[in-house]
Structure 1
């Protein structure tokens, strides 16, 4: 039986931080999390956050935090090598992966587009997840990988899916069909790119994994983090989610998707976001 593990990048703040703490608390699986700086400090913060609502003591020995900057491919490669060292592919497989990098430079008009800002948006939001797929994708299960050890890895209501899942954070504004307002040119384009590479990656996993792994894109809604703080006043209170609520909804969707649902973008309600 192949032993499962979890990958979350990044985990230093926002949804990634809340998700890592939640999974540390609600599963028994080892976790590799990433941070651009101060991995030791991020680990201490995550262990503390997971302990706030934990019923059983855990010293954080299941949690590993390593340096990774998605705009620096060598750091992604090094982090993947660290993952293979911690979780040898001969005995382990990546079962849940959350690729969450994201930045936003909002442009309401074409004249407001700054070339360097737009390039940074594409490097982080689109090329970042693509580099994670490149270096961590081979750690997902292949055809013939025995996934039966996944049973018993869950607790506190989260049902770990039987198949491996790669989730990349997207956004509803990445939908071309659903674009009714315009604006946010570089951000929309970067998330449309996320949806495109997710489809291609899912097709790759179908060929190599034969139902053992899938890839999906995900729209979490507007979450009350520093990322969206500038826009909180424009969002109805019942549509502005806490990180903890956003994480619960994300995991509900992950638990309810099948391999046939791969290659598409799903929102926090479990509804498909059109391409």
Structure 2
């Protein structure tokens, strides 16, 4: 059986660096996605990776606001990685946008709707169309270098999605959408218990505050030692994924591997 990995999206920021690091540290083929500029995304992922087999990288068009694009990408993937001879070993679902409402009066309906469509429905649609590639109970998994012994579906969440940890308020739509992501993760993991047993699990991840365009507006509010490069964040997140055990399934972890309360 041929294992492979999914990074969606991988056009910039954390996703780009996750795809690059997987190419550098593992031997599995990578399916990366981008909403546009597929050739540029491919070039960015491969830049400087002279020792990497470029044939391991496939870049497909996916817009998480367009379910048909996700279905089409999954259909294309099934031709490259037939379910009878291959399986999805690692999926990193990381779409996200942020409109930082500081008070209820700043909540905009259209922005809030787009937040949920991207941050919550995005991962849901990805798992709808790509989770069938995950192993089943009867699948014999391969032993892989620098990857977990079982398949992992990881949804990108955020610490502000923790209801328990919410001591500041604000960011209504973003907090709510990420809390919903954690519920999606738990619910999906319950499904995997039945379909895959211990061969596959789902977790949520908090990457910390990463120095990307996504968080640019908030760099000044974060201590320098708590503001991470995308490269550092990708390295730490993959360490967390690799070190998860079956007892960690359905839970939410930060970049240090510490559990974040729901």
Q: 1:206 aligns with which of 193, 199, 215?
A: 193
Paired residue for 2:126? Answer: 132
Shift of 1:33: 0.3
1:71-220 equivalent positions in 2, closer than 5 A: 71-147=65-141, 149=142, 151=143, 153-154=144-145, 159-220=146-207
TM-score, normalisation: structure 1 = 0.94
Task: Give structure 1 regions of 4+ aligned residues with deviation exceeding 6 angstroms.
Answer: none
What residue number does 1:54 align with?
none
Query: Given that residues 202 and 262 in structure 1 are in contact (C-alpha distance below 8 angstroms), is that contact kept between their aligned partners in structure 2?
Result: yes
Alignment check: 8 A CA contact 1:47 1:59 kept: no
Q: CA deviation at 1:58?
A: 2.6
Larger displacement relative to structure 2 (22-31 or 42-51): 42-51
Cα deviation, residue 44, structure 1? 1.4
How far residue 50 of structure 1 moved from its aligned partner, in angstroms, is 3.2
1:10 aligns with 2:29: no
Q: Is the 8 A contact 1:22 1:50 kept in 2?
A: no
User: Normalising by structure 2, what TM-score?
Assistant: 0.98
Deviations 1:20-39 (A, max 9, x none): 01111111100000000011
1:33 aligned partner: 32
Gaps of 5+ in 1: 52-56
1:153-183 CA deviation, whole Å, 9 max, x = no partner?
42xxxx2111000000000000111100000
User: Are residues 1:258 and 2:251 paired?
Assistant: no
How far, CA to CA, are the matches of 1:30 and 1:49 in structure 2?
18
In the TM superposition, what is the alpha-carbon distance from 1:146 to its structure 2 partner? 0.6
Question: How far did residue 250 of structure 1 move?
Answer: 0.3
The unaligned stretches of length 5 or more in structure 2 are: none
**Equivalent residue for 1:229?**
216
For 2:186 and 2:52, the matched residues in 1 are separated by 37
Aligned residues: 262
> Following the alignment from structure 1 to structure 2, what is the Cα–Cα distance between the partners of residues 59 and 245?
23
Let me know the Cα RMSD of the aligned residues.
0.9
Question: Do the aligned residues in 2 keep the contact of 1:21 with 1:49 (CA within 8 Å)?
Answer: no
